[in-house]
Amino acid sequence: MSHPTLSFKVTRQAPELIAPAAPTPRELKHLSDIDDQEALRFQIPVIQFFRQSHLGQGRDPVGVIRKAIGKALVHYYPFAGRLKEIGSGRKLAVDCTGEGVMFIEADANVSVDEFGDVLQPPFPGLDELLFDVPGSGGILGCPLLLFQVTRLTCGGFIVAVRLNHTMADATGLVNFLTAVGEMARGQPDVSVRPVWRRELLNARDPPRVTCVHHEYDQEKGTIVPFENMMQRAFFFGPDEVAALRNLVPPHLTRCSTFELLVAVLWRTRTVSLKLDPAEDVRMMSIVNARRKFNPPLPKGYYGNVFAYPAALTSAGELSANPIGFALQLVRKAKNEVTEDYMKSVADLMVLNNRPHFRVVGSYIISDNTRAGFETVDFGWGKNAFGGVASGGVGAIPGFITFYIPAKNKKGEKGITIPVCLPAEAMDVFVKEMDGLLETGRLAGETPKKKTIPLITSAL
C-alpha cells in the first residue's frame, strides 16, 4: 500500500509556456451549453506513473514530452488559447491566441516503488508533483492545461496534468494525451482527428426543458460541514463485488458492477453522515452520453458529453431500506439519460443562467475505469498507474468520487474508490462497509476466512 508518511523533495525548474509547434488559426470558438455549466468551472488533476523501460532508453522524458505537446497542440490548438466570457449571459468561448499550455520540468529524490506496491490515490506529495503555479489556476484568462513531468531516481517518471474541466471531459483529455503520446513515439500524424463542433451540444431554438432534472433543484437543507476531513481508498475486487451482489434481490443481480457499487456507496455514506431522516439525498452517477446520440457524435469530439442524472429519496428511507432499494433508484436515474435528456440539460442551462447542480444532500460518483488513462504511452510503454490524482475533486472536498481501475496485492483486477469524509463519519463508514461485506459473504455461504483489510491507504 502507499506509504502515508513518504517524504521526498521535488526540484522544479521555472514554469514555461509551450505553444503549438506550427502556426494555428486565430479565432474565437464558443464552448457548448453542456461545457458551459457553473459546476464545470474547476480544475481536474490527473497523474500517470511510468517505470523505467528499455523502450525509452537514452531518452529524456521531459524533453520528449515537451516537444510532443507542442506538436499535438497544432491539432488541438484551442487548448493553447484562453477562456473569456462573451455578453451578459457569461457565455464561455476560447480565444485561440496560441499562447500555449503551462509546463514544469522537475526532479524528485524518490522512486516509483517507494509510492507503494499498489499505486492508488491519495498520493503523498501531490501538491509537489502537480504544482499550482500562482496565477495559473483561474478559469478565465489562464492556461487551460498544466503539465508537470517529474523524473524519478529509478529512471521512471511522473506526468501530472491539470485540466480546466469546461474544455473537455475524461474521454476528451485522453484523446489529447493519446495524441501527445503518438507525437512522442514519432508518429507523423494523430490517429484520431480532433473535432470541435461544440454547437452539437448547444441549446435548441427555442430552448425547452423536456425532462425532469432533480440534479438542478434549488437548494434547501443544510450543507454538511467539511471539517477534519479524511480520505481513504477502498478496493473492490471479485470477492468484494460477489459478496455485495449477495445482498440484492434476484431480479437485480444482473446489474452492472458500477450500479451496484454506486448504490452501496450512496447508502453507506448517507448512514455514516447521520443526516436528518427527512432530508432529501441525491446520488448523481455521471453518465457518458456519447452513445446516446443519433447520428453518433464524431469520434474525435473532445468536449464534455455527460449528465448527472439524480436518484432522489430521503436520508431516512435510504438508510432504513436494504441495498436493493438504492440500486433500483440508481438504475432508474441512469436509464433516463437519452439524447433528448442531454438537449434538455443544455436548454435548462440557457433558460436558468447556467445553474450549478444541487450541492446540499448530494453525492456524485464518476466511473473512470474505462476512460483510457492507463493506455497512454509516451514511448516508455503503458503506465503503472493512470487516472484522476485525487479521489474527490472540485470546489467541495468529498463531493465527487472517482472509480479508478486497480489491482490488489494478489494481482486481481478491481476498482479502487477513494472516499473523503469527516473523520467521525469515516469510522462509521468503515464499520458499515465491513459489515455489508461480511453479511454478503455469509449470504453466499462461503467459508469464513481471514480477509485483507478493506482500507488500503489513508491521508
Q: Which residues are catalytic?
A: 165, 377
In contact, 22 and 79? CB cutoff 8 Å: no
The count of C-alpha atoms lying within 13 angstroms of the C-alpha of 170, restricted to the half-sphere facing its C-beta, is 24
Cell reading at 280: 432529501
CATH architecture type of domain 10-201: 2-Layer Sandwich (3.30)
What are the structural domain ranges in the chain?
Answer: 10-201, 219-444
One-letter amino acid of 50: F
**Alpha carbon distance 148, 65 (integer Å):** 10
What pLDDT does 456 receive? 44
Beta bridge partners of 280: 314
In contact, 194 and 77? CB cutoff 8 Å: no
Do 219-444 and 10-201 have the same topology in CATH? yes
List of the chain residues with pLDDT < 70: 1-4, 219-227, 391-399, 445-459
Residues whose CB falls within 8 Å of the CB of residue 45, separated by 6 or more in sequence, listed in order: 126, 130, 160, 161, 162, 388, 389, 390, 393
What pLDDT does 219 receive? 67
**Alpha carbon distance 56, 51 (integer Å):** 10
Beta strands in 14-156 (DSSP E): 16-18, 28-30, 43-50, 82-86, 91-95, 101-108, 145-151
Express each pLDDT in 273-309 by its tens digit.
999 999 999 999 899 999 999 999 999 999 999 999 9
The count of C-alpha atoms lying within 13 angstroms of the C-alpha of 452, restricted to the half-sphere facing its C-beta, is 14
In contact, 259 and 199? CB cutoff 8 Å: no
**CATH number for the domain formed by residue range(s) 219-444:** 3.30.559.10
SS3 (DSSP) at 222? coil
